[in-house]
Amino acid sequence: MPVRTIADRYELTEEIGSGGMGTIWRGYDSVLDREVAVKAIRPDMLLSPEHIADLAERFRREARVTARIQHHGVPQVYDAVLAADSADRLYLVMQYIEGRNLRSYIDPADPPPIAWAAAIGAQIATVLSHAHAIPVVHRDLKPDNVLVTDDGTVKVLDFGIAAILRRGITRITVTGSPMGTSRYMSPEQVNAAQVTPQSDLYALGCVLHELLSGTPVFNGGSQYELWKQHITADPEPLRGLRPDVPPELEELVLDLLAKKPEQRPADAYAVYERLLPFLPPPGSPVLATSRRLGEMPDPTLLYRQPNAPRRRTRRQPPVPAPATVPHAPTAPPTRLRDAIDDALKLSTELLGADRFAQAADVVKAVIGPAARMLGSESPDLLKLRFHRALILFLGGDSRTALPEFDALANAYARTAGPSSVRVLESRRYAAHCRANLGQNTVALDQFRRLLYDVATADSHASELALDIRYSIGMLLLSAGDKAAAENVFESLYQDHLVINGPSDERTREIAGLLTRIRLPPSP
C-alpha cells in the first residue's frame, strides 16, 4: 500500500482505528524518527464544507487545549495539521501508545482483583484532575477510551472532543444533540444540559461498576431505554453482584452515579482520596489473586513501587513465532519475494537517512509472513532478521538487538555451520551489544572466544580478527588494565603497519591510544 505523507513529515502507514470523528493511523515522524498516532478528522461528519475554516480554527484550539494536559496519563500532542493538499482534512499528531483497552479486562466470570480495579480508577481520577484544572471535560469516558500499557500505566485517550469551559467558545456538537456513548452518559448529557467535570465523574462510576462486576450499570435494549435508565433508574449496588466488594467502594461508586451532579464527589481528587484505602502501599508484594493476572499488566505497580526504575524484563522476544516447517524447501513465491526485496530496499533507504526505528519496523512487518511461508530457519528469513538486528544495533537499541544476534548465531550454526561468516558476525555484534550495555566482563570473554575461532579458521591478521582485537583492547582499557591493553594494542599496531600502512586511519588511532596509555600518571 502506498504511504501517504502529510505536512512533508508524517507518513501514514497503517489504519489502526476508526470512529465517528474519523480514522486513526499509525505513522512515523520522518524528522525525529519516531512512531506517532495520527488522527484524521473528517469535517464532513460534523459540518458542511463551507464551514471548513471555522472548523479548522476550533480544531486547532482544542488541539492546543489537549496539549496543555501535561500528564503522563494523556498521550502527548505533537502537532495539529491542516493538510495543504486537501481543504477537508485535519490531522492531530500524537504520541503512539501500545497497550490494550480496558474493555478487554472486563469479564463477569473473572473480574479483576479489587486493588487492580481501584488502581485503574485512581489513575483515571488523576488524569481527570489535571484535565479539569484547565478546565477540560472529556465527555466520552468509557473502557474503550482507556488504554492499559504493558507496565500498568493508564492512558486516557480521545480528549479531542473536549470543550473548554469558558463562555464564548463554540462547541463542535450540534446544539441539542447529546455527545458521548449511551452506556456511560450522565443524566445531564442525556438531557443535553450543561456538562461539567462531574459529568466525567459519573462516567468513571459507570466504568468502575462495569470493571468490578463485569456488567454495565444499565442494560437498556435501545438507546432511548438506556437514556431513560440513566435519568430515572437506580443502579444495582455492587455487593449484590460481587459480594467481596468492600462497602466503602460500593458507596463510592453509588455516589459517582448520583443523578444530580452536586450529589457526586466534589472533584476527581476526592475520588482519588476515597480509592487510596484500596490501593497497595509502597513496598507491598506483587498482587496475585486472579487466575488471569499473569496475562494482565499491573496498574498497582505505580503505587507499590513509586518512581521505580524500568523493569529489566521488558524486552521484545528475539525469535519470531514458530513456523510450520524448520527449513524452506523452495524459493519464496513471487509476491513474497517482492515484499522482501521492497522491505530491504526501503529499510536501507531509511537507514541512510538515520531513520532507524522506522527502518527496523519495515523489516519486522515482512518477517512474520516470511516465517509462516518459508520456515523459521530459511536463508531468506535469517537474512531479514540479521538485517533488522543490525539496524537496531546501529540505531543504538542494543538491548533489543542482543537476544536476536544470540538467536541468529545459533540458527546460522545449525543451518550453515559453526564457522560460517554469519555465525561469526552474529557473535561479534552480540559481544558489541553486551559491551554497549555495560556487560564488559561477559563481552570480553565473548570477544576472546570469538578471536580464537576466527584465528583458527583464518588468521590473527584477517579483517575480522583485527576488529575483534581492537574491541578486546578497548574493553581492557575500560576495565583499567592498562598493561594488558598496551600489549594488545602494540601487537595490533604492528600488524596494521604491515597490512594498512602508517597513514591508515585505524593505524593512526591505535598509535594515539598507545601514546596516551604510556603517558606517566599525573603527579
Partners of residue 90 on adjacent β-strands: 41, 82
Given the C-alpha cell 512487518, which residue does it identify? 365
Beta strands in 160-304 (DSSP E): 163-164
Task: Name the region of 492 (left: φ>0; alpha: ψ -120 to 50; beta: rest).
Answer: alpha
State in Å, rounded, how far the first CA of the chain is from the last one.
67
**Cell numbers standing for residue 169:** 467558545
**Cell numbers standing for residue 213:** 462486576
CA distance 240 to 208: 15
CA distance 347 to 358: 8
Sheet holding 146-148, edge to edge: 100-101, 146-148, 154-156
Chain centroid to CA 36: 10
Provide DSSP, 171-194.
Answer: PSSPTT---S-GGG--HHHHTT--
Q: Are 125 and 268 within 8 A, CB to CB?
A: yes
Q: What b/e readout covers 423-453, taking b as 16+ CB neighbours within 10 angstroms?
A: bbbbbbbbbbbbbbeebeeebbebbeebbeb
Other CB atoms within 10 A of residue 195 CB: 24
140 is catalytic: yes
Q: Peptide bond preceding 521: is omega within 30 degrees of 0, i.e. cis? A: no
Provide DSSP, 374-434.
Answer: H-TT-HHHHHHHHHHHHHHHHTT-HHHHHHHHHHHHHHHHHHH-TTSHHHHHHHHHHHHHH
CA distance 180 to 424: 59
Q: Are 445 and 454 within 8 A, CB to CB?
A: no
Q: Are 390 and 402 within 8 A, CB to CB?
A: no
Q: What share of the chain is helix, strand, coil (3-state, %, to 5)?
A: 55, 10, 35
Of 29, 140, 158, 397, catalytic: 140
Active-site residue list = 140
